[in-house]
Structure 1
Amino acid sequence: MTRPGPVPPAGAAAPRGEDFVLPGTASAAHGGRTARRSRPRVLVLRALGLGDLLTAVPALRALRRHLPGYEVVLAAPERFAGVAASTGCVDRLLPARAPAGRAVPVSLDWPGPVPDLAVDLHGNGPSSHLLLQRLRPRALLAYRHPGTPDVQGPRWRPEEHERERWCRLLHWYGIAADPGDLRIPPGAAASPAPGAVVVHPGADAAARRWPAERFAAVARALRRAGHEVVVTAGAGEERLAASVAARAGLPPAAVVGGRGDVPFDRLVALVARARCVVVGDTGLAHLATALGTPSVVLFGPVAPRLWGPPDLPRHRVLWGQEGDGPARPGDAHGRVPDARLLRVTVADVLAAVRSLPAPDAAAGTADARPDGRPDGWARASS
């Protein structure tokens, strides 16, 4: 097979490792041509949810380190502009989101000349590949897929942790990436409830939503034990959060958010300065991980080895799987709570909260597992 040249044709997949020379660099100049602009641009596609974006932070940071002279443009939902800014590795956000019923945006409103480099951190193709290829980037980094045979990236592994997945993609192209490089700063905003236990009952799908009455029982027990408890809600979750708060005997003021997303700087301040977070497999769990806040995370249809927090003393993961089994035993988008999630009891959650280290001790574990690998978790009682 002929080895690819230093700069692939527009829209082509980049060659691997030592063959890969970034367009826009001195090594990529050929035929007497000079760079088209003083600062080349890399477009990164990750137009998904909050947790998806936070699990991609290690890969985004790797790109920033490897491409110090590039403008890093992230294609993601506009409401995550604050999230992107907090990572310290994104220069500009290109608003992009998939319409209802689709996994990939229909188009990208990319301004100006074609991207010098496009990176697919969205999925394994082919739709995400084709979306980027329509912009005719000078090179594309992506996983291979039979639907886009010109993309010669690494093979997709279905049972791989999300943080490691995107770091492995970059490693394949010779870009060093650390899955443990996921922390974001706590920000300067004041917390509305410093030292509180944050309970988040919501999730995008019912399959990952622990029953409201159980969240209420946890909140009620924690309040009786002397903890301040707040209940957070994303857009459209106001009634759920209000129900949990009322059942727990909390005042209406204990609910944060609901009518719309909580402003990101306020959410960061709340979570960063919380005693701990009790949450399902959703975006707020990943925010707690990114901020180093102790957490208890409840899993159901998807194993924590795919989406769980790092195996650090400050995190507890509860999963009702009986024995070893597949990593995706249920439907993550199902319309009823997953059976494994329902096996997690109120007593399990309260015991996990009691076992968490104090905030000062938890902060000291930040570098205990620099690889960020989620190798262990607690199992729910039968």
Structure 2
Amino acid sequence: MPALRLMRRALPEHRIVLLGPAWVGDVAGFPVDAVADDAAAPAPDVVVNLHGRGPQSHARLDALARSRPVRRIGHAAPGWDGPAWVDDPERPERRRWCDLLATCGLVGDDEAAVAADDLRLPTPDVGGASLPASGGRRATSSAVVIHPGAAFGSKRWPVDRFAAVAEALAGDGHRVVVTGGRDESALTAAVAAASGGLDLAGRTSLLDLLVLVAGARLVIAGDTGIAHVATAFGIPSVTLFGPVGPTQWGPPADPRHVVLTDASVRRGERFADEPDPALLAVTVDDVLGCARVLVGSSPDRLG
């Protein structure tokens, strides 16, 4: 997002087309003119690789360019001039792409550094959502949103701990809404059962999820997409990090966004089936203590 905003400012005369999934078009404020697949993409004058170091992503853009004399902006690869790819866990990933644009001369170094921390998105239109009600209230209203799933086991905090957090916050008087994909229904059901919360596994569109997070009181999740959405909307969050530390993928420093991990025991195996020790070192009391500070002393009680 920050790099796309920089491109918009640096190339105001260009129409920016993102090669990506159609659902991106549902995100209000996404700074592109269109989203297309390779077949529908127009012939480009400039191709920019903000995805990776290739070769697959470079090849896709080369195929679009064909024999046209287009400008290529990306990391160094055959046919591509640019900076070498460097893995640095102490460097925020959002800085990688903004710094790339600076290195290639589109923006200045200082502009890139400032822009990298601007992750804000405008609040989505609530009227377009189709979320169910809970306790006579729309799910969009000031709930504590808990997301127990993650793509890999290494990033997945034990579900019994999520359930304990949810139960305690429900006991404090907070409404709990649990989110996840259809394949995470066993996790969400356990958390919802412990807290009497609303289980939305597999029941939300992207727009529904954006609206839910934008109206939440607090989001508790592992290092997953929903945590980044909370950052974008400025919603208080507690994010649990395992194999990858928060310096690389976490939010910019902000008292509204708390990150929990223990780097001293991190194993760092991103695709492992078991939770990373850095994640297991985070306790229920750790999460509850931070959550209670963030939500304050006036829960949105049911009834």
Bin for the TM-score computed over the shorter chain: 0.7 to 0.9
Within 2, Cα distance between the matches of 1:211 and 1:78? 33
Q: Distance in 1 between matches of 2:142 and 2:275?
A: 30
SS at match of 1:183: coil
Deviations 1:51-100 (A, max 9, x none): xxxxxx000111111122211111112333313xx2341111114xxxxx
Residue aligning to 2:217:
275
**1:123-134 residue pairs with structure 2 within 5 A?**
123-134=52-63
SS at match of 1:81: helix
Report whether the alignment pairs 1:300 with 2:239.
Answer: no
Q: Does 1:173 align with 2:110?
A: no
Deviations 1:127-173 (A, max 9, x none): 2212211222611100114xx2x311112221131111100001112
Mapped to 1, the partners of 2:295 and 2:123 lie a distance apart of: 19
Contact 1:314 1:357 in 2 (8 A): no
Deviation at 1:322, TM superposition (A): 1.7
Partner of 1:74: 18
Q: Give the AA of the match of 2:102.
A: H
Question: Do residues 186 (structure 1) and 123 (structure 2) align?
Answer: yes
* Alignment pair present for 1:250 and 2:250: no
Counterpart pick for 2:269 among 313, 327, 331: 331
Question: Superposition pairs for residues 57-206 of structure 1, below 5 Å?
Answer: 57-83=1-27, 86-95=28-37, 108-112=38-42, 114-136=43-65, 138-145=70-77, 148=78, 150-159=79-88, 160-176=91-107, 177=112, 178-189=115-126, 192-206=139-153
Among 282, 289, 299, the alignment partner of 1:344 is: 282
**Aligned counterpart in structure 2 of residue 236 of structure 1, from 149, 174, 183:** 183
Contact kept, 8 Å, 2:140 with 2:213, in 1: the verdict is: no
- Structure 1's unaligned 5+ residue stretches are 1-56, 96-107, 360-382
Amino acid at match of 1:70: H
The 1:249–1:111 alpha-carbon spacing in structure 2 relative to 1, beyond 3 Å, is closer
- Say whether the 8 Å CA contact 1:301–1:331 is kept in structure 2: yes
Cα pair 1:125 1:144 within 8 Å, conserved: no
User: Could you say which structure has the higher helix fraction?
Assistant: 2
Give the Cα–Cα distance (whole angstroms) in 2 for the partners of residues 258 and 338 of structure 1. 26
Please tell me the residue identity of whatever aligns with 1:349: V
**Larger radius of gyration between Structure 1 and Structure 2:** 1
TM-score, normalised on structure 2?
0.85
Aligned to 1:38: none
CA contact (8 A) 2:92 2:249 kept: yes
- Decide whether the 8 Å contact of 2:155 with 2:276 is kept in 1: yes
| Counterparts of 1:282 and 1:239, CA distance in 2 | 18
CA-to-partner distance for each residue in 1:9-64, whole Å, 9 max, x for gaps?
xxxxxxxxxxxxxxxxxxxxxxxxxxxxxxxxxxxxxxxxxxxxxxxx00011111
Q: 2:245 matched to 1:316?
A: no
Specify the code of the residue in structure 2 equivalent to 1:350: L
CA contact (8 A) 1:239 1:258 kept: no
Instruction: Return the letter of the residue paired with 2:261.
Output: W
Instruction: Indicate the percent of aligned positions where both proteins have the same amino acid.
Output: 45
Query: How far does residue 341 in structure 1 lie from its aligned partner after superposition?
Result: 0.8
Secondary structure, aligned partner of 2:85:
coil
**Contact (CA 8 Å) 1:313, 1:357: kept in 2 or not?**
no
SS at match of 1:134: helix
Once the two structures are TM-superposed, the CA of residue 250 in structure 1 deviates from its matched residue by 1.1
